[in-house]
């Protein structure tokens, strides 16, 4: 173990296992805090891999490090379908195999004798091959992570240009050329072979890691921007609700100021036996009082406030508004997110109703089922035929916000249109912390 090439080889493979754990946290929701899940994954894989590097009989631990341990740890530390987790790591192994084949073909095409050295030993040839593999593997795994999120998780928030993989490919070609040249000479630029290798390997690997961290920061900024849009929208609704309350308080103050005179008028009408006029005046007072009352749809104030506001819009647009709300405990779901959910569902339904010529109606249902708040809407739409809408492909922010919130609480969001009827449904867990907290 005194061979410097062994430790460089081991360090390069350790970085690859870290990248694998990192993309796993990007593709699956962790049950614990993200750094904890990443640390457990990394060291669980690194230990059997380190033992396998000691040679026989420890070499049998290598399959554990490559397949069995990653899948087992992901089962325990992350949420998701077991089939999806297994397929994730199977495809990862396929990618590793393709990269190895491609590098072998590339090296053989340049120099058929390069791989003639014994690659089972920790020597210069093996280190060069491992370095080339690491340079190509890191960005390839990152692109694999993006592709998985887009196709499997239906998450289209990633916008990285795949062409950036040319950066490490160019590094790999340059490094191989330099090492190939150096192997033909004892020294290069007055530096020993080991010193040059250590410097070059360290700088190139660190540059790739820093580059990937930069890309992760770009994604994080995009997520923060979306969260800011949600908070600004919620703040606007809260301000509207506040102004509505202030308006009602002013109306109540006017009624109290005038109630004495109105009661005198009612008493006078009753004494003169003008019962119809007295009844009409009393009805007018009752109507004024009713207009100052916020209807109680459920025991959650923010839901009442949003639905009360949207109900007034439905009245103005001749839309029948029907509710079936049975929510008493929202668990760990933040009220600002509930505000966004009900607001965006209602906005989408009202917009669809206003685009139709037939009967306008909105049915909204909200229940707690098996630890999830399930909210659904039904309304007419101008979309004919059968079609499932993609929230991330919509022009506005409403459906995207609903999609994001459902993922934060390990839930689902779907919106389907069939026979000019639109059905939208979202579920959010009440018993788990939001994804943005675990990250």
192 in a structural domain: no
Q: Which residue has the tokens 């993989």?
A: 165
DSSP letters for 204-217: HHHHHHHHHHHHHH
Spell out, as residue ranges, where the chain has pLDDT lower than 70: 1-3, 50-66, 110-125, 155-220, 222-223, 226-227, 230-231, 233-235, 237-253, 255-257, 259-261, 285-295, 392-397, 432-439
329 and 180 in a common domain? no
308 and 179 in a common domain? no
Per-residue pLDDT tens over the stretch 276-327: 877 787 777 666 666 555 567 888 877 887 888 889 899 999 999 999 999 8
Q: What is the pTM of this model?
A: 0.47
Q: Are 19 and 137 spatial neighbours (Cβ–Cβ below 8 Å)? A: yes
d(CA 280, CA 421): 42
d(CA 205, CA 6): 17
154 and 20 in a common domain? yes
**Domains: count for the chain:** 2
16 and 140 in a common domain? yes
Per-residue pLDDT tens over the stretch 235-251: 576 566 556 655 665 66
Q: Which residue has the tokens 């409403």?
A: 398
Which tokens sit at 136?
């190509």
172 and 34 in a common domain? yes
83 in a structural domain: yes
d(CA 211, CA 227): 25
Residue at which a domain ends, from 184, 213, 235: 184
Q: Which CATH number characterizes residue 334's domain?
A: 3.30.565.10
209 in a structural domain: no
- Residue numbers of the domain that contains 335: 299-438
């Amino acid at each position: 173990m005194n061979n410097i090439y062994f430790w460089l080889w081991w360090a390069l493979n350790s970085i690859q296992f870290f990248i694998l754990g990192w993309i796993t946290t990007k593709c699956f929701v962790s049950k614990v805090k993200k750094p904890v899940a990443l640390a457990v994954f990394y060291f669980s894989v690194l230990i059997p891999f380190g033992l396998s590097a000691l040679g026989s009989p420890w070499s049998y631990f290598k399959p554990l490090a490559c397949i069995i341990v990653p899948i087992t740890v992901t089962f325990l530390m992350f949420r998701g379908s077991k089939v999806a987790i297994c397929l994730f790591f199977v495809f990862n192994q396929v990618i590793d195999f393709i990269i190895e084949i491609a590098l072998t073909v590339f090296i053989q095409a340049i120099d058929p004798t390069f791989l003639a050295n014994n690659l089972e030993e920790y020597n210069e040839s093996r280190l060069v091959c491992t370095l080339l593999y690491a340079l190509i593997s890191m960005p390839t795994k990152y692109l694999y992570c993006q592709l998985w999120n887009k196709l499997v998780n239906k998450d289209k928030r990633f916008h990285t240009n795949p062409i950036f993989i040319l950066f490490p490919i160019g590094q790999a070609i340059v490094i191989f050329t330099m090492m190939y040249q150096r192997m033909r000479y004892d020294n290069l630029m007055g530096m020993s072979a080991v010193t040059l290798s250590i410097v070059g390997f360290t700088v190139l690997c660190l540059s790739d890691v820093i580059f990937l961290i930069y890309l992760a920061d770009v994604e994080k900024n995009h997520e923060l921007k979306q969260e800011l849009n949600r908070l600004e929208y919620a703040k606007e609704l809260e301000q509207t609700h506040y102004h509505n309350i202030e308006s009602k308080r002013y109306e109540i103050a006017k009624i109290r100021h005038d109630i004495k005179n109105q009661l005198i008028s009612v008493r006078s009408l009753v004494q003169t036996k003008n019962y119809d006029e007295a009844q009409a005046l009393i009805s007018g007072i009752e109507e004024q009082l009713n207009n100052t009352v916020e209807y109680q749809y459920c025991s959650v104030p923010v839901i009442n406030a949003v639905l009360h506001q949207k109900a007034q819009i439905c009245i103005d647009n001749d839309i029948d508004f029907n509710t079936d709300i049975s929510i008493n405990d929202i668990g760990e779901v933040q009220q600002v997110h509930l505000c966004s959910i009900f607001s965006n569902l209602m906005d989408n339904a009202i917009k669809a109703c206003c685009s139709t010529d037939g009967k306008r109606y909105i049915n909204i249902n909200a229940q707690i089922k098996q630890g999830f708040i399930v909210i659904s809407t039904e309304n007419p739409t101008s979309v004919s035929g059968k079609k499932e809408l993609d929230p991330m492909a919509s022009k506005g922010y409403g459906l995207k916000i609903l999609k994001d919130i459902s993922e934060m609480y390990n839930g689902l969001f779907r919106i389907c249109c069939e026979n000019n009827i639109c059905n939208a449904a979202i579920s959010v867990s009440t018993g788990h912390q939001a994804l943005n907290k675990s990250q």
